[in-house]
Homo-oligomer: A and B are copies of this chain.
Amino acid sequence: MTRFALTLEFDGGPFVGLQRQALGDSIQQSVEEAVFAITGETVSMHAAGRTDAGVHALAMRAHLDIAKPITPFRLMEALNAVLRPAPIAVLACETKPHDWHARFTCTGRRYLYRIANRRAPLTIDRGKAWLVSRPLDVYAMRVGAQALIGLHDFTTFRSVHCQSKSPVKALERLDVRREGDTVLIEAAARSFLHHQVRSMVGCLVLVGLGRWAPERIAEALAARDRTALGLNAPPDGLYFVSASYPDEA
């Protein structure tokens, strides 16, 4: 058996999410079925993050084990050929030791959230950003974001479906910046709770709209209560950017 690490890019729009589910197409099922088509082997793919329906990835990392002898380059080319009708692409493929695990070995994850801050409906970026029509005060959002950085109990910003053992996470970075009519939010941490980025972005948008004072973010965090959440941002604007591993530092 050889362990292969994949770097995946995908448009989350047509999928039920990264993880295999009873109904609907998932990224996991698509890749596993492509491997079966190539090798005849039934494999399990493990990914660095479990993105929801509609969430995109620029460089999701995943691994799977294959018995048949095949080079990483051939595997990548074959996967891309089989996957082609679906908006999933393998950007890179390499072999890894058997103790390398896309999820458990991962020491850092980065997400990007794109907000289109304009009145006009989206055209070219439809499904690829969250349209917020009223002007956002990026400075206020940046002030509000400071309260979330560091080690906190993120219960307020956690989905009821979250499977993480602990709600305590160390948020390393939460940057807010404007580029024209796009507002970009970058988040980095060792790991995130389910819906954490979308929940943080939703509350920051309330701050940007002036509906929440920036201090309200700290209050929502301190509440440790999901009902203190202001707003969960839609999946369309969320991108899994990258995962980091000790052997690649």
Q: Could you list which residues of chain A lie within 8 angstroms of chain B, going by C-beta atoms? A: 9-11, 56, 58, 76-77, 80, 83-84, 87-91, 118-124, 126, 128
A-B contact list, 28 entries, CB within 8 Å: A9-B120, A9-B123, A9-B124, A10-B123, A10-B124, A11-B123, A11-B124, A11-B126, A56-B124, A58-B124, A76-B119, A76-B120, A77-B119, A80-B119, A80-B120, A80-B121, A83-B121, A84-B121, A87-B123, A87-B124, A87-B126, A89-B120, A89-B122, A89-B123, A90-B120, A91-B118, A91-B120, A124-B128
Residues of B within 8 A of A9 (CB): 120, 123-124
> Once bound together, how far apart are the Cα atoms of A102 and B77, in whole Å?
47
Additional A-B contact list (16), CB under 8 Å, known A10-B123, A56-B124, A91-B118: A9-B120, A9-B123, A9-B124, A10-B124, A77-B119, A80-B119, A80-B120, A80-B121, A84-B121, A87-B122, A87-B123, A87-B124, A87-B126, A88-B123, A89-B120, A89-B123
Q: Name which of A76, A77, A118, A123 has the most chain B CB atoms within 10 A of its CB.
A: A123
* Shortest Cβ distance from residue A84 to the other chain B in the assembled complex, whole angstroms: 5
